[in-house]
Structure 1
């Protein structure tokens, strides 16, 4: 065996369709484009959303709602997740760097701590926002919440 004798397995490679090469090829004449009309001609391209003159979907469906460009999106982290991370390590401060190092948030996220679950240790938790139930749970365990600006 050498490089000059290598070839693909039989039947694994198909030849491309040679369109418009005479009637003997079986794809001459209209070249698989059907008869007449804009789609049979060269240079044809339809506009995006054009439905052949029928009222297009984006004009049939009414407009509603709006996007609030002042909305602040938070990455949410629940207390049970924090508790499971802290239980295995000797940690007293949970801040953005701690959450990022454990893959819970990414670089540009703002963090909101939510109150699902509970906390056993007294922790100092730093975040951009807290739910009321999270504040109660952290402070009842003897911890402290710090809002990051």
Structure 2
């Protein structure tokens, strides 16, 4: 046996149909493309979203703004919200248990809004400059 003697099994190989090779081939003359028109000619095609010249759907609909996916996981809380809590040590888990923030929240920022009159300790939360000064003025701390 030699390499030039090896053949594929019978009916294992399908040869490409030869188009436009005379009437006897069965695919002569128009070569299976029908008569006339854009799709019968070489290079004739439409874009996928082409609607026959009508204004396409993606141009008819109004444009909308951008909303970041990240904003779903961020939350801001006020000092007045912390005032209402009966806990002195505050972290993200205590805020979730108290239903002040969503269970999906990953980043919490404390902002200066409202009054704070009790000493609190904040762990693992972001704090604005004004809120930090207000917390430390009362004797609280940020870790």
TM-score of the pair, normalised by structure 2 = 0.51
CA RMSD of aligned residues (A): 3.6
Name the CA distance, whole Å, in 1 between partners of 2:126 and 2:77.
11
Instruction: Find out whether 1:123 has 2:123 as its counterpart.
Output: no
User: CA offsets per residue over residues 84-140 of structure 1, 9 Å max, x none?
Assistant: 22xxx3x32111121011112233411111110121111101243111111111111
Structure 1 residue aligned with 2:109, among 107, 112, 121? 112
The count of aligned residue pairs is: 94
Larger radius of gyration: 2
Instruction: Find out whether 1:136 has 2:118 as its counterpart.
Output: no
Give the unaligned 5+ runs of structure 2: 1-48
- Number of the residue aligned with 2:25: none
- What pairs up with 1:42-121 in 2 under 5 angstroms? 53-56=53-56, 58-59=58-59, 73-85=73-85, 89=86, 91-109=87-105, 110-121=107-118
Give the unaligned 5+ runs of structure 1: 1-48
Name the CA distance, whole Å, in 1 between partners of 2:104 and 2:98.
15
